Amino acid sequence: MSTPRTPPASSAVQLKPMLIDGAWVSVDRDAFASINPATGEENFRVSAATASEVDRAVEAAWRAVREPAWRDMLQHQRAGILRRIADAMDRESELFAQLQMIENGKVWAECKAQVASAAATFRYYAGVCETICAEVTPARGNYLSMTRYEPYGVVAAITPWNSPLTMEAQKVAPALAAGNAVILKPSEVTPSPALELGRLALEAGLPPGILNVVTGTGAVAGKGLVEHPGVRMVSFTGGTASGRAIAIAAAQKLMPVALELGGKSPHIVFADADMDAAIEAVVGGIFEGSGQSCVAGSRLYVQAAIAQEFQERLVARTARIKVDMPQAQGAQMGPIASFGHRQKIESMVQSARDEGAEVLIGGQRPEAEALAGGAFYQPTILSGLRRDALVVREEIFGPVLCALPFQDEEDLIEQANESVYGLASGIWTADYRRAWRIATRLEAGSVWINTYKQLSVSTPFGGYKQSGLGREKGIGGLRLYQQSKGIYFGM
């Protein structure tokens, strides 16, 4: 097993430039710090885009997408570039994993797995790119009619800090495969993987300006891209409040958007479930990645007949989770991605205490002196909650599980769907007929039965209600970045 390199010392601070039109652009003014959440030390400084850099990126993207070198590139040639990007990510997987680890605190094993997943996403869309077909449609007269799919032109992809490697691949690969130029705006917490992706794309033969990486804040760079008249489509993954603001701005422009937003996913365990397997899945579903996952199973519903036993065994299993520095051998949970986000989690847990919740385990920072300098927080399970408690209703986006009992199927459905979110859900039962009944009634974009958090690039992914608009992944994940045109030949 590979081991991570030592994070850069704060004495070796450098300014990271952004990528515009194939050139590296440094902007000292308003540069921001990348902070290692495990230590509190500064990794490096990062250039912050202003309106000027956003304009330059959009202009460069339009020039590039209109050039014959890209516009007329055959699909199998475009697919070849995507494959070369995937190969380069595999070769440099240690670097990508290291950068994600020091910027958002994910443990080393998870970072390595996410590099492999990102590379696989580029390969998948390379395959889709060179095999996907247009259609000849049934004629209703003396003509030949067909559907042609064309890129929007310039697409803005805005990605979150919790899983930057996979999210950036999930947007950039299909958008490029669809023939667009992309302006990638990563989270200011995790800018480095996107910058390295931009470098590899150029080395793989992607024409300059087809992938631009603009670093900066959401308030300036993100807002500037969303509102820019030259951006024809926006794909965003992040919080629901930000997604709503993007949707409002897009409505003003009559611009299509793809929004993958928050979640408060119910993880359901019936009395006839395989309890050992369910406990492992519940633990992984909420505590992997320190709970900073849109599909985290943050609401646990256990049938009342087994609730007490399940809860006791779940607490015992949670106590064995190794919270440690993300590069430590065997670490299972690293720090929260930022000190500010840990503070938010702590305030949410305090609100639960104020509303009468019982903290079964966790609910505080680790006591280990070696972790005192980082944004660590213990895996936490809350019980005795009212259905309308703040922590039951709102996304915490941290290692906090809300445990609630249910009596029967009707009670369960009412509680599970009693949320503004609808991203994912899980069901544990030995009765396949019951599993089907519940799965068809849950208001969620993904339902896992006797498993949890299984994700495939070939399967559409997205949310119901305030968890988003549109579906990423799968063949439709490429069509998401195209518009259709009807063409008629008179006969």
Number of domains in the chain: 2
**Does 458 reside within a domain?**
no
Output the pLDDT for position 407: 97
Output the pLDDT for position 14: 85
Residue 438 shares a structural domain with residue 483: no
The distance in angstroms from the start CA to the end CA of the chain is: 65
Percent of the chain predicted with pLDDT > 90: 97
Residue 209 shares a structural domain with residue 291: no
Interval 366-375 mean pLDDT: 97
Residue 260 appears among annotated catalytic residues:
yes
pLDDT value at 196 more than 80: yes
Work out the number of other CB atoms within 10 angstroms of the CB of residue 280: 14
Measured distance CA(218)–CA(303) in Å, rounded: 42
pTM: 0.95
Residue 115 shares a structural domain with residue 143: yes
Q: Any residues with CB less than 8 A from the CB of 130 and at least 6 apart, and which? A: 75, 76, 78, 79
**Does 47 reside within a domain?**
yes
pLDDT digit string, tens, across residues 228-255: 999 999 999 999 999 999 999 999 999 9
Residue 95 shares a structural domain with residue 238: yes
Interval 408-428 mean pLDDT: 98
pLDDT digit string, tens, across residues 280-325: 999 999 999 999 999 999 999 999 999 999 999 999 999 999 999 9
pLDDT value at 267 more than 80: yes
Q: Which domain holds residue 225?
A: 15-261+467-488
What tokens were used for 262? 């928050």
Output the pLDDT for position 359: 98
Q: Give the burial class of 86: count Cβ atoms within 10 A of its Cβ; 0-12 exposed, 13-18 middle, 19 or more buried.
A: buried
Calculate the average pLDDT of the chain.
96
Identified catalytic residue from 53, 196, 260, 443: 260
Measured distance CA(373)–CA(377) in Å, rounded: 12
Give the domain CATH number at 361: 3.40.309.10
Q: Any residues with CB less than 8 A from the CB of 325 and at least 6 apart, and which? A: 38, 331, 334, 370, 371, 374
Output the pLDDT for position 3: 53
**Does 96 reside within a domain?**
yes
**Does 188 reside within a domain?**
yes
If you count them, how many residues does the chain have?
491
Residue 301 shares a structural domain with residue 175: no
What tokens were used for 439? 């799965």
Residue 256 shares a structural domain with residue 276: no
Residue 205 shares a structural domain with residue 181: yes
* Angle, CA of 92, 96 and 99, to the nearest 5°: 140
